[in-house]
Amino acid sequence: MKKRAYLLTLILLFLGLQSKAIVTNWTGTNGTSWTLSSNWSNGVPGINDDAQIGISNTYTNSPVIAVSTTVNSLAFGVRSSGSITINSSIIFTVTNDITVKYASATATINILGQTISGVLGGTINCGGSLRVGDSTAPVTPTQNGTINTTYVVTLGVAIQRFNVNGSLILNTTSSSANVTNVGYSSNVNNPVFGLKNGTLDVLQNLQITNSAYVNTVLPGYTTTTNTGRLITNPIDNNITGSSSILAFGGSISIATAGFLDFCGAGVGSSTVVYNGTAAQIVYTTATTGLGVSPPTIKTLVSLVQGLKQFSLVP
């Protein structure tokens, strides 16, 4: 009986240790090394831990991952613009979501520009979804306060391989409408995602969503626009010889005022791969919320996968 009780105690202790995850924020106090404990607020994140960059503090040195590692989740905030770099032949695994978050309505808001990049053969494996913009709404306009302001979070990606088991989701949020000195007004959080180089392989869907779209039908209403933008080879891509490959296995959904461009105005080229095992619609011409730019774009269809239906929308 004592032996069983002892074993049970060990098991419970082990489970308790396993479930004790931490949240730790990047500080970059002593350089760029991801694995240096003093560069984190609560130690180096492990397999069960949540890593946060720019959520609760500003930083100067951006992290570089030089050893293959795994964390539970990764979140970027708006306190600092920066980058995360994955070195050659290194695999960075995030078990759940990678999220670029908006500022809370009470926080000091900075315009955010985050970059995920890789040196030569770097790889990211994301077990959840890649989310640009969470569900946080911006501050509601007041009579003498911030009125009709658009807060933008951006994420640029240039890495050899980025695998996402879930979906790529860009989410816009709006504040509540309020009466101000210019009439009904609202503020907006908008996401922008740019694939500059390398392969982004999304197992599920490409989604541009509005989790809080303000009704603009009210008399005298003025507002900024809900505009989530997903672009391959964006205009700020200046990587000579770059090639962006966007592969996805699900569907495309674009909410009101959202936009997806399969080939932007950068210096590189773009390829779209429809590789779902189920039926997919292949867009070869522009349609509402979706732009394509032949001949700089190459639309590829994997014939060994599911049935493809070509869109003939003019």
Residue whose pair of structure tokens reads 């979804």 in the numeric block: 129
Average pLDDT over residues 180-186: 65
Q: Pick the range with the lowest mean pLDDT from 13-17, 76-80, 122-126.
A: 13-17
Q: For residue 245, is pLDDT > 60?
A: yes
**How far apart are the C-alpha atoms of 232 and 239, rounded to whole Å?**
13
For the stretch 121-156, pLDDT in tens is 789 999 999 999 998 888 777 766 555 677 788 888
Band of residue 10 on the pLDDT scale cut at 50, 70, 90: very low
- Top-confidence residue, 171 or 183: 171
Q: For residue 275, is pLDDT > 60?
A: yes
- Top-confidence residue, 28 or 312: 28
Q: Pick the range with the lowest mean pLDDT from 27-36, 236-245, 249-258, 304-313.
A: 304-313
Parse the chain into domains and list their residue ranges: 22-311
Q: For residue 64, is pLDDT > 80?
A: yes
What pTM does this model have? 0.85
